[in-house]
Amino acid sequence: QKRLKILADIPPDVLRQREAKWLDMLNSWDKWMAKKHKKVKLRCQKGIPPSLRGRAWLYLSGGKVKREQNQGKFQELDSQPGDPKWLDVIEKDLHRQFPFHEMFVARGGHGQQDLFRVLKAYTLHRPEEGYCQAQAPIAAVLLMHMPAEDAFWGLVQICEKYLPGYYSAGLEAIQLDGEILFALLKRVSPVAHRHLKKYKIDPILYMTEWFMCAFSRTLPWVSVLRMWDMFFCEGVKIIFRVGLVLLKCMLGSQEKLKACQGQYETMELLRSIEPRYMQEAFLVQEVSSAHTLMCCTSISIQTIF
């Protein structure tokens, strides 16, 4: 943990140096991605400077390219009325997203209006998918860092590139990834794996909100941002690693399991994860650790099924 400094503790001159490095990268992005991707990955692990986070996320996700390839598309979707069945559901969800954040605190305020626009545009972009409630916190986090049009393309990339199939009816993709997570857990923490198996606790019971909301409704805010920095660079494996770390920390020893002899007790434990395990420096350290990384890369879907 000593190697990883919390962003708030970074001296201003170091932060300015990081900003300068990121500006250099963003201004010659294609070159960096083609020739120095490992360096980009390392800088994402260190944390993207707050002033450049929105721009960096859009570049990392490919949202910038999508926007350029589809100029005027968001404005076209934004001007359409939308399907009433989705509009009603979206409207009901607006006030539930980060209700204490200044952007979303006011009913009908600019933050809620932009959130409505982005989610409505996605239902028109993918009418066969429509709207899923887990998309709202994802879109809200994006809107905190970028304008509505960019947030829309960021959402498109998350739904289509990073977490494909997660927001479709039936939840087949999330169920499949639940099985993969459970198989990985057997390697990372056999104790936790045996416990969940013993009490027949299906992965979908505890990991659905984690994965579908990319931990935006689970972790402290600073940890959410650091995980998203890595997620946009490295993809869904970051979400898997965070899930494995939390499961191992909460259920990974006989001592911890004494207090949760049953399905209900276990689920309650996973709903109230100890703050120390969600702390920014600890999580980044664990998610980047060699053991978790090895377990996440040495297994494939084919070997599970």
Q: Which residues contact 113 (CB under 8 A, 6 or more apart)?
A: none
Model pLDDT, residue 296: 57
Model pLDDT, residue 209: 94
| DSSP H or E segment with residue 35 | helix 29-35
> Measured between alpha carbons, how far is 166 from 176 in angstroms, rounded to an integer?
10
- Report which residue type is found at 210: W
pLDDT tens for 240-265 read 999 999 999 999 998 889 888 899 99
pLDDT tens for 117-163 read 999 999 999 999 999 999 999 999 999 999 999 999 999 999 999 99
Nearest Cα neighbor of 158 from 239, 39, 73, 72 is: 239
For the record, the structure tokens of 124 come out as: 């028109």
Ordered DSSP codes for 150-218? HHHHHHHHIIIIISTTTTSTT-HHHHHHHHHHHHHHHHH-HHHHHHHHHTT--HHHHHHHHHHTTTTTT
pLDDT along the chain (305 residues), means of 10: 49 89 95 91 94 97 97 97 94 90 86 96 95 96 97 98 92 93 95 96 95 96 96 96 96 88 92 94 88 53 39
Fold designation for 70-162: Helicase, Ruva Protein; domain 3 (1.10.8)
Model pLDDT, residue 295: 55
Choices 1.10.472.80, 3.30.70.260, 1.25.40.80, 2.40.40.20: CATH for 172-304? 1.10.472.80
| DSSP H or E segment with residue 260 | none
Predicted TM-score (pTM) of the model is 0.91
